[in-house]
Structure 1
Amino acid sequence: MPPPTHRSGFAALIGRPNVGKSTLLNQLTGEKLAIVSPKPQTTRNRILGVVTRPEGQVAFLDTPGIHQAKGELNRYMVEVALQAADEVDLVLFVIEPTGTEKQEVGPGNRHILERLQKTGKPTFLVINKIDTIPKPVLLPLIDLYRREFPFAEVLPISAKEDDGVEELFQTVLRHMPEGEPLFPEDVLTDQAEKTLVAEYIREQVLRHCRQEIPYSTAVLVDFFDESEREPPPGTPPGKLAGLIRISGSIYVERDSQKAIIIGKQGQMLKTIGTDARKAIQRLLGAHVYLSLRVRVEPRWSERPEGLKKLGYE
């Protein structure tokens, strides 16, 4: 018997903000690689998540939500997403039902489909959040989108409930070209630990702060000391041991935003730091000492040099 065919390739998760692309990436990989929040524009950069199985390997690219781009940061995020669609073997166009009886292809999704038509890449329609709608709504929604675009596959899922995610992976894998693995089997992402730490801190700002704050926030890790990270001999697996010292800066655009993040008597910053530290400890498997400060970088999201300084190139 000939050996089973091994397949490998890249797939991009493309769609409007808040349709669940990051939740899907985390569910596919079994790890929290992308931060998640109900606020728009949570994902700002392309995030790689690699799923490796004996029969094949798929490298998924989570991308920022595509939206009407106003300002330098918005344009940057939309460009990141559209560029990813050009570079992969397969596109997963993720949508969510509208939550009303009358389903429609809105102008935002129609614009994305027009751009995807130009890439010429095989495209799946992934209908997420099917746990939020009655089943009879699904078939008319599928028919509606099939009339708009020649999708290679249509996959209804609920990323949050892990419903249909394994079937999605297997279907994606079947469409990948034959080939050897693209990454060593122990590689999960190309994100450096410092990058993930910065994102975990930003996630807590998104969680705890008022609506006007998150969009104007960026986080940089200034100091990452692993000199005491090595656990003592005999430490049981899974037990936190060793120490990593981290200091980070939360950047905002105005002094008034800085005051909100620090909070009365520093309470808000303390809450952000406490919750971020717990998440970072789970990520790194070690005790973490985390020090945070808030800095003002005026209009950073509107200036190319501001974006560059804060890591959005």
Structure 2
Amino acid sequence: MSETPPGTTASATRCGLVAVVGAPNAGKSTLVNTLAGTKVSIVSPKPQTTRFRIRAVVMRGASQIILVDTPGIFAPRRRLDRAMVAAAWGGAQDADLTLLIVDARAGLTDPVRAILERLAKGQGGKQARIWLALNKVDLIPPQRLLPLAAEINAMLPLEETFMISAETGSGLDRLMDRAAEAMPPSPFLFPEDELSDLPNRMLVAEIVREQILRQTHEEVPHHATVETESWQERKDGSVRVDCTIYVGRATQKAILIGDGGARIKEIGQKARRELESLLERRVHLFLNVKDRPGWDEERGRIRALGLEDLG
């Protein structure tokens, strides 16, 4: 954490945490990446893509807005699921402001209603500040937006309502201007040029997992996890990274590897290209696949993801 930047005082700057919460596939990670101006959270069309809290740092005038991208909130079944949902609610409880993202196309689904009911009960006695952002408004008729916003506001006291498109950027300037004003007076918590608190080793694992999500289907994506086993700096400025992909069954391992190793090769190539762009250096990426039944119930694997094991 940094001190207040030279030439500024605590009273002259604002800084706070904004928890971005919502049901799976509401567009939370796309929104955080768009606002951060770079990829800090992986994105895929599949639900439950984000597994842990990722903080992105956004500067807006004299305000530092720390966006906390949380896992989608859903009905948990596995130990991993419970840890993910707890991380989402923990992010909301710790924040100065909770930004609820709702997919305007899907509307008031059962998962959204469950989130609204939980938010209405409060966060451990803390007086919550909650804003609503209806996302993907570019994909539905405008006349559907106001009735949806009114229905949600009737279920939960909301300070502000925004109509946005995380994909196109529509409405985001107004959202961030208001967020900058809403942050409490405080020194900055991060250097102004820092974009995220995601360590490089975890970034590599997440980029690999993103390619798994994009290139495999059905049961494989949600039964796979990636761990960075080693990170070796090279004299030429490049880096060698070895990752292990754990899946639940041997059949999933076979799908990931593909015929003659074709799929795992493509996953590695696309992940490496993206990592080289993000890290601005050459990356030598090596992937190993292991079937490990029940990994999503293992305390060690869950802690490796940066999640708290709830048992």
TM over 0.5: yes
**Share of identical aligned residues, percent?**
40
- How has the CA–CA distance of structure 1 residues 92 and 229 changed in structure 2, closer, same or farther, with 3 Å as cutoff? farther
Superposed CA RMSD: 1.6
User: Does 2:303 correspond to 1:300?
Assistant: no
1:98-146 CA-to-partner distances (Å, cap 9, x unmatched) read 45xxx5x333222212222212311000100001101111111111111
- Alignment correspondent of 1:87: 94
Once the two structures are TM-superposed, the CA of residue 172 in structure 1 deviates from its matched residue by: 1.0
- Alignment correspondent of 1:220: 227
Q: Is the Cα–Cα contact under 8 Å of residues 95 and 125 in structure 1 kept in the other structure?
A: yes
Once the two structures are TM-superposed, the CA of residue 97 in structure 1 deviates from its matched residue by: 1.8
CA distance in 2, matches of 1:6, 1:138: 35
Q: Is the Cα–Cα contact under 8 Å of residues 105 and 136 in structure 2 kept in the other structure?
A: no
Of the three residues 170, 181, 198, the one matched with 1:163 is 170
SS in 2 for 1:228: coil
- Alignment correspondent of 1:250: 245
- Alignment correspondent of 2:111: 108
- Alignment correspondent of 1:130: 137
Q: Which residues in structure 2 correspond to 1:170-209 (within 5 Å)? A: 170-209=177-216
CA distance in 1, matches of 2:99, 2:236: 39
Code of the residue aligned with 1:145 in structure 2: it is: I
Q: Compute the TM-score of the two structures, normalised by the length of structure 2.
A: 0.91
Once the two structures are TM-superposed, the CA of residue 278 in structure 1 deviates from its matched residue by: 0.3
Report which structure shows greater RCO (CA 8 Å, sep ≥6). Answer: 2
1:141-170 CA-to-partner distances (Å, cap 9, x unmatched) read 111111111110000100001111121111
- Equivalent residues, number: 295
Q: Structure 2: which 5+ runs fail to align?
A: 1-8
Q: Is the Cα–Cα contact under 8 Å of residues 229 and 286 in structure 1 kept in the other structure?
A: no
Code of the residue aligned with 1:63 in structure 2: it is: T
Q: Structure 1: which 5+ runs fail to align?
A: 231-242
Q: Is the Cα–Cα contact under 8 Å of residues 53 and 68 in structure 2 kept in the other structure?
A: yes
Once the two structures are TM-superposed, the CA of residue 227 in structure 1 deviates from its matched residue by: 2.6
Segment drifting more, 151-160 vs 245-254: 245-254
Of the three residues 270, 281, 286, the one matched with 2:276 is 281
Q: Is the Cα–Cα contact under 8 Å of residues 52 and 306 in structure 2 kept in the other structure?
A: no
CA distance in 1, matches of 2:252, 2:306: 20
- Alignment correspondent of 1:240: none
Q: Is the Cα–Cα contact under 8 Å of residues 85 and 116 in structure 1 kept in the other structure?
A: no
CA distance in 2, matches of 1:112, 1:146: 13
